[in-house]
Amino acid sequence: MAEITVSATGDGEPMRFDVSVLQRGSSTEHRVTLSRSDLERLGSGRAPEDLVRACFGFLLEREPKESILPSFDISVIGRYFPEFEREILGS
């Protein structure tokens, strides 16, 4: 199981987060942005950090942490995984 740490780095638009994924003795670092409109659409009432953590959980079910882009906006996940929005809304 991976340990996913999410830290907000600003409260502007878009919101910015530093994410660390620790798994099997090594870690990766990521910078992620999230728009307020995506939070409202995909968050189902969750805190922004919780949505970002859920998004990384989704990604880690499909690829190793080293394959996750070092910097991206949450909105691009659906381009790589068409089932993303449906599954993240159901989580």
Q: Give residue limits of the domains in the chain.
A: 3-90
- In sequence order, what are the residues at sequence separation of 6 or more whose Cβ sits closer than 8 angstroms to the Cβ of residue 52? 6, 17, 19, 32, 34, 74
Predicted confidence (pLDDT) at residue 91 exceeds the cutoff of 90: no
* CA distances, 79 to each of 2, 8, 85 (Å): 24, 24, 10
Q: What is the pLDDT of residues 26-53, one digit of tens each?
A: 999 999 999 999 999 999 899 999 999 9
How high is the pLDDT of residue 90? 86
Predicted confidence (pLDDT) at residue 54 exceeds the cutoff of 80: yes
How high is the pLDDT of residue 39? 96
How high is the pLDDT of residue 87? 95
State the pTM of this model: 0.94
How high is the pLDDT of residue 61? 96
